[in-house]
Structure 1
Amino acid sequence: MADLNEKKGASDGDAASHTIYDTNEANRSGSEHASEKVAGNTDAYAHIRDGKLGEQLVNNNVDARIANPLAGIPREQIKLDAKEFAQRYGLDEYTDIMVKGALVAQDPLAFDAVPELDEADREVLRREVTHKWSHPFQLYALVVLCAVAAAVQGMDESVINGALLFFPAQFGIGDDNADRDNWLRGLIGAAPYVACAFLGCWLTDPLNHFLGRRGTIFFGAVICCLTCIWSAVTNSWQHLFVARLVLGLGIGPNSATVPVYAAECAPPLIRGALVMQWQTWTAFGIMLGYVSDLAFYHVKDTTPSITGLNWRIMLASACFPAIILAAQVFTSPESPRWLMKKGRYTQAMKSFLRLRNTPLQACRDLYLAHVTIEAENSVRHTQSKFRFLELWTVPRNRRASYASTILMFGQQFCGVNVIAYYSSNILSGAGFSDINALLGSFGFGILNFVFAGPAIWTIDTFGRRNLVLATTPPMCLALLMTGFSFFAEEQQVRTGIVLTGIYLYAVFYSPGMGPVPFSYSAEAFPLRVRELGMSQATAILWFFNAVLAVTFFRLRQAFTPQGAFGWYAGWNLILFALVFLFCPETKGLSLEELDSVFAVPTQKHAAYQIRQIPYFAKKYIFRQKVEKEQLYNFDNTTNAPRTANPL
């Protein structure tokens, strides 16, 4: 059996004990390797401390074994290292518990075999699996914080829907048949997302560096609040465009930071469900925007000096959730992983204690995060001075970038924001009155929020990837239904089918392509480049969001509604293929263990997925008894975080 040479491991840039290839892959690369079994090696931990790449025992017929940096280290060595760790970082009062936590962290589901644990400790760890939603109030308060942040973004996105029925005519850009007016309306609608893509999202890394996760969220909330009021007092389309551009400087950092904040604070078993609250409550915010549009639709101008009071109040109303967010953000603990990155371990321990039920669980998660950070630091000398380049030059990071890019691009080009931003215009063009168009949009908002619920219960069991694969084909059909309904000559038939198509689309979008991209991107990148990775992912999302928002009016004019909706329906089929081939599953693994998933080469993952097509046909169509090929060798079959037994 072959082993990795040091040069190959360094080029991959993966953390110690996370470098993975099989024998055939190594031989094809022409590298020379020698095998060495890690089990029983008393110097195993020194490989991490001294900057040498740890080595994994790889099965002959398996590409990878999910492991963490503690796998293969003798128990006595772990106990000594845990004691030294507690003393070094001023955690002496937790020394005994830290030793227990470190031993559990080596293999989280093998706690029954750890003699240092008493029965009370074991019961706590069993309950963690059997009662996975039982957590401290502080964790759920943090979830509420993230939900309010998401509602801020959603409301900022959707209030423009109602305002677009009024301000274009007031500002002289309301002609549906004029190319200039179509482009300008699209540009104003897209302005925040242009700013997000080119500046707002890239502020995430420096803001997080200096202000932390909570400070960045506070900054975004203040910007969103002030610019909503600014948008309401504009007196020309140029002025409104600038105000909405600045709005993007608040939306961008928050959209990148909040999912990461949730991912870093959440336990692995429910991380997907908690992170996806971002999209669920974004959908709620979108619905609130529609409520605001309906509530203020009939507001009349009260003085000659104010024209368009209704659309101005619509835009200003989005400041209220931003005020609530700014008021509550500092009541939650800072991300413990961010604090550890800054060397503030005592504060990180306090954060974990607020977010976990017992000190044992807090010590386990703290120590596992610590050894992973140490492993990442040990290979920094092999990496670029420019961390952004590491997103594409380090293979582990590049694979995460591929997957997150596909999903973030897909969330936009699946066509959802055409409906979210312009549903009132679409329904108006189908024959609805303005008020009925807003009511129809409100119905879309309700369904978008309600049907995100199933994903909360399935994203950590059914999986992120499977949710997308199961919902993109029905989304394609719903968009085709919406577009082809414009062929109907009878208005009642046309409006009924358009509304049905839009609503069916919401039903399938909300549990799939809605929550998965943000959840997936927030957990895909290692801590060293997590802020940059999420900045890149959200910048890609907002860039294509802007492209979609700018072009839709002109696209509809050129393609007709049938062609415009058919265009996005086709993209859903392309996205199905891309996700199937290039996006690995991430459910049920700790943020640290995901290094191993993304260590599998892209071509190997794609080839494996193609080989599964005959398997599914034989099993589910022809009902044959066939054995599934395993890409990873999982030692546990539960939905709990799974790690390999010590090698």
Structure 2
Amino acid sequence: MPRFYGLRGLKLNIAIAIVAGTDFALFGYDQGVMGGLLTLGSFLKYFPQIDTVNPPAGSSPSHAATIQAITVGAYTLGCFFGAVATIWLGNMLGRKKTIFYGSCIMIIGATLQTSSFGLPQLIVGRWITGFGNGMNTSTVPTWQSETSKPHRRGQMVMIEGSLIVFGVMLSYWLDLGFSFLEPSSIAWRFPIGFQIVLAIFILIAIPGLPESPRWLVLKGRNDEALEVLAALSDLPPQDKKIQQEFQEVKDVVFEMSRGGFRECFKLNRNRNFHRTALAYVNQMFQQISGINLVTYYAATIFENSIGLSPFLSRLLSACNGTEYWMASWIAIFTIEKFGRRALMIFGAAGMSISMAILAGATSNIGNKSLGLLATVFLFVFNSFFAVGWLGMTWLYPAEITPLSIRAPANAISTTANWAFNFMVVMVTPPAFANIGFRTYIIFAVINAAMVPSVYFFFPETAGRSLEEMDEIFHKTTNPFNCVKIANELPHRYGKKGELLVEYGDTEEAREAERRRSSVTGAEIRQPTGGVLNGEAEKDVREHHEHGSKSNGY
């Protein structure tokens, strides 16, 4: 088989985006598929413990709501532990192997769920599926960002975000379509089992695609890294642009060769802790916005909070997912034009207003006018989220963190996504059972607080290479001047990827040269703490000795 399936340049970038996007579609599908089943008769026949409308004898609606939350939340809890495992596995296995093994684990979990005849098996299956997905969602954004060009990186990851919603939409429509097979258990077994198809596609496609060139350099496999960089740009390895990109990556690897999990919390020149905290909070904000209140429980909200029929509730959920997916395409065409900060602020402000209106509209169940208003603003909320926050938290953390801690830092930030996802999923059923419409007020306040937080603390990453972000943080002295420095530092690349500033002419390159010349003979170690051996050590020492005498190699 030809190297990288014979693909180069844009075609290779698209192939990577398709596989990465399929993984995110699988992620979205898993999030949405359970929502349409929670009120399905054939599903509740096997799992009556989660029926909040007609709980089994001896159980209260509040208790059933808690069991339902545990069942749904088992998936997100598994995702959390999968993300935690990736903190240690990510740099050891590499990006591709981590995704491959994560997909295998998801298939095992999905098989257990599909064949469930009791609640314990379903919960265990959901936890295992989540574990695999946690590994994937911690790794795919890093793999995608490290194989993308600065002017295309945001657009590529936003396409992945759109595919998350495509997966949600697909799960809603399959739930609706197969609900007509009631009372057969196929009505819920097939929708749950369909995720296996997506996971198998990933297993088949990913082995032939390129590994992250930055991870390859980190492991001393420089010839492979240069080959990947050349293939991604469809240029020969000797091309000046490829040599410069390779030089930038090697300079960063040389400086950060001792990075690891503990480095995420260091208050050093690279401001590792500052950058890890920004990545963590970015992921946390996405979840505490309340999006999974809608994603996991849309059909339940339509039926129990607004008072619609079961069929109409599932139909509106499917339509909601479809509109959600359509709105997600707005970010694909605006992410590079308006930047990350503008979209995050716009999304948070719109979500806050939507939640406030939902609180008022659901305060009187049975009122048709208010019910219609609530239905509309469930759609509106999803639209604001799709534009501002859907793909953002899979893009921004990977852009903001330095190479040496990129894998562990993104895994740490992804634990925030799943920890707060789990919190929202667990809290939502009891919250609706106890405080009703006031649940929306809590999320309205949270979203409002996100607006100034983004404005004052989150620097713009649009159009920046991953190495440029290092330079921004090298100049940062406290969390309050980071945004100002990012706004003032000249860009190295133009909006179409053209070179604007030679790397050799930057202060960062001159500083890298000074550091190389000051540590002659120092022992070079891998991030794991082991000494580099063989060709890797020789290459790094040569890099140390010769440095940036020219822009090429």
Shorter chain as normaliser: what TM range? Answer: 0.7 to 0.9
* Offset, 1:631: 5.5
Partner of 1:96: none
RMSD: 2.3
Task: Confirm whether residue 154 of structure 1 aligns to residue 10 of structure 2.
Answer: no
Partner of 2:214: 337
Could you tell me which amino acid in structure 2 is paired with residue 140 of structure 1? I
* Offset, 1:630: 8.7
User: How do 1:514-553 and structure 2 match up within 5 A?
Assistant: 514-553=390-429
**Cα distance change on mapping 1:442 and 1:375 into 2, 3 Å:** same
User: How do 1:62-461 and structure 2 match up within 5 A?
Assistant: 135-166=9-40, 167-168=43-44, 170-173=46-49, 174-176=51-53, 178-197=61-80, 199-301=81-183, 308-359=185-236, 360=239, 361-377=241-257, 380=258, 387-394=261-268, 396-429=271-304, 430-461=306-337
Describe the superposition over 1:594-640 as per-residue Cα deviations: whole angstroms up to 9, x where unpaired.
0122331334327x77xxxxxxxxxxxxxxxxxxx995242779545
Q: Do the aligned partners of 2:343 and 2:387 also contact (CA within 8 Å) in 1?
A: yes
Describe the superposition over 1:79-100 as per-residue Cα deviations: whole angstroms up to 9, x where unpaired.
xxxxxxxxxxxxxxxxxxxxxx
C-alpha distance in 1 between matches for 2:478 and 2:174:
46
Could you tell me which amino acid in structure 1 is paired with residue 372 of structure 2? G
Between 470-479 and 630-639, the greater mean CA deviation after superposition: 630-639
**Cα distance change on mapping 1:630 and 1:373 into 2, 3 Å:** closer
The TM-score normalised by the length of structure 1 is 0.71
Q: Do the aligned partners of 1:163 and 1:312 also contact (CA within 8 Å) in 2?
A: no
* Offset, 1:356: 0.8
**Cα distance change on mapping 1:324 and 1:638 into 2, 3 Å:** closer
**Cα distance change on mapping 1:147 and 1:374 into 2, 3 Å:** same
Q: Do the aligned partners of 2:263 and 2:405 also contact (CA within 8 Å) in 1?
A: no
Describe the superposition over 1:47-67 as per-residue Cα deviations: whole angstroms up to 9, x where unpaired.
xxxxxxxxxxxxxxxxxxxxx
Q: Do the aligned partners of 1:162 and 1:311 also contact (CA within 8 Å) in 2?
A: no
Task: Confirm whether residue 584 of structure 1 aligns to residue 434 of structure 2.
Answer: no
C-alpha distance in 2 between matches for 1:642 and 1:546:
45
Could you tell me which amino acid in structure 1 is paired with residue 78 of structure 2? A
**Cα distance change on mapping 1:338 and 1:299 into 2, 3 Å:** same
* Offset, 1:136: 2.8
- Select the residue among 351, 354, 357 that pairs with 1:478: 354
* Offset, 1:489: 5.5
Q: Do the aligned partners of 1:407 and 1:517 also contact (CA within 8 Å) in 2?
A: yes
Task: Confirm whether residue 567 of structure 1 aligns to residue 409 of structure 2.
Answer: no
C-alpha distance in 1 between matches for 2:365 and 2:90:
55
* Offset, 1:353: 2.2
C-alpha distance in 2 between matches for 1:390 and 1:487:
45
Q: Do the aligned partners of 2:86 and 2:408 also contact (CA within 8 Å) in 1?
A: yes
Describe the superposition over 1:72-116 as per-residue Cα deviations: whole angstroms up to 9, x where unpaired.
xxxxxxxxxxxxxxxxxxxxxxxxxxxxxxxxxxxxxxxxxxxxx
C-alpha distance in 2 between matches for 1:449 and 1:325:
22
Alignment partner of 2:293: what SS? helix
Describe the superposition over 1:145-180 as per-residue Cα deviations: whole angstroms up to 9, x where unpaired.
111111111111111011212334542321345222
Partner of 2:4: none
Q: Do the aligned partners of 2:112 and 2:121 also contact (CA within 8 Å) in 1?
A: no
Describe the superposition over 1:190-220 as per-residue Cα deviations: whole angstroms up to 9, x where unpaired.
11211222x2002224433343211111111
Q: Do the aligned partners of 2:294 and 2:378 also contact (CA within 8 Å) in 1?
A: yes
Alignment partner of 1:604: what SS? coil
C-alpha distance in 1 between matches for 2:219 and 2:91:
9
Q: Do the aligned partners of 1:406 and 1:579 also contact (CA within 8 Å) in 2?
A: no
* Offset, 1:474: 1.3
* Offset, 1:226: 2.3
C-alpha distance in 1 between matches for 2:174 and 2:254:
49
Q: Do the aligned partners of 2:464 and 2:491 also contact (CA within 8 Å) in 1?
A: no
C-alpha distance in 2 between matches for 1:463 and 1:147:
21
C-alpha distance in 1 between matches for 2:478 and 2:317:
41
The TM-score normalised by the length of structure 2 is 0.82
Tell which structure's C-alpha radius of gyration is larger: 1
C-alpha distance in 2 between matches for 1:403 and 1:574:
15
Alignment partner of 2:35: what SS? helix
Describe the superposition over 1:110-160 as per-residue Cα deviations: whole angstroms up to 9, x where unpaired.
xxxxxxxxxxxxxxxxxxxxxxxx943111111111111111111111110
Describe the superposition over 1:466-485 as per-residue Cα deviations: whole angstroms up to 9, x where unpaired.
11111211111112222211
Partner of 1:129: none
Alignment partner of 1:460: what SS? helix
Unaligned runs of 5+ in 1: 1-133, 303-307, 610-628
C-alpha distance in 2 between matches for 1:488 and 1:200:
41
* Offset, 1:390: 3.1
**Cα distance change on mapping 1:598 and 1:446 into 2, 3 Å:** farther
C-alpha distance in 2 between matches for 1:555 and 1:169:
25
C-alpha distance in 1 between matches for 2:323 and 2:456:
30
* Offset, 1:501: 0.4
